[in-house]
């Protein structure tokens, strides 16, 4: 009887775990073609990630090469105010950081950092901390 209960509990926890990770899996990167010629890992496409009021969005690609994680991002907004893309990262040895980049209209940029374990992004519009959308893990 104990084995049956243990198996049922294990199955329930797996199903619950899958249900909780389903939204993250939808936001997880999908494999795409590589924009860089020399790469050591597949390129993952992410986005469109909107600001809370849907007036700005970002999308892009993330890949790893030679120990660095690279991100090529694109931002779009069509108003008199600016959009902001935030990147938050955790490092393999502990610690991390975050930073925001501002754009007006359409813009793209690339950045990279060595030792990234996890990378997240979100989009804001009208100010650095206003109308910020959901946070998505992109690496």
Domain residue extents for the chain: 29-137
Q: What mean pLDDT comes out for the span 5-25?
A: 45
Q: How far apart are CA 86 and CA 75, in angstroms?
A: 11
For residue range 118-138, what is the model confidence (pLDDT) as tens digits?
999 999 999 999 999 999 999
Residue 15, pLDDT above cutoff 90: no
Sheet-wide strand order for 96-103: 96-103, 83-91, 116-125, 136-137
- Residue-wise pLDDT for 30-62, tens only, equals 444 444 445 467 899 999 999 999 999 999 999
CATH number of 29-137: 2.60.40
Q: Does pLDDT of 20 surpass 50?
A: no
- Is residue 109 within 8 Å of residue 87, measured between CB atoms? no
């Amino acid at each position: 009887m104990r084995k049956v209960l243990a198996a049922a509990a294990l199955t329930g926890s797996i199903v619950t775990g899958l249900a909780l990770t389903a939204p993250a899996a939808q936001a997880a990167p999908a494999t795409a073609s590589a924009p860089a010629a020399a790469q050591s890992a597949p390129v993952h496409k992410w986005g469109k990630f909107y600001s809370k009021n849907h007036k700005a969005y970002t999308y892009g690609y993330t890949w790893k090469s030679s120990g660095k994680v690279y991100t090529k991002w694109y931002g779009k907004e069509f108003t008199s105010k600016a959009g902001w893309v935030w990147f938050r990262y955790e490092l393999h040895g502990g610690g991390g950081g975050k930073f925001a980049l501002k754009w007006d209209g359409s813009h793209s940029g690339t950045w990279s950092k060595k030792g990234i374990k996890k990378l997240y992004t979100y989009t804001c519009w009208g100010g650095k901390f206003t109308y910020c959308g959901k946070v998505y893990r992109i690496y």
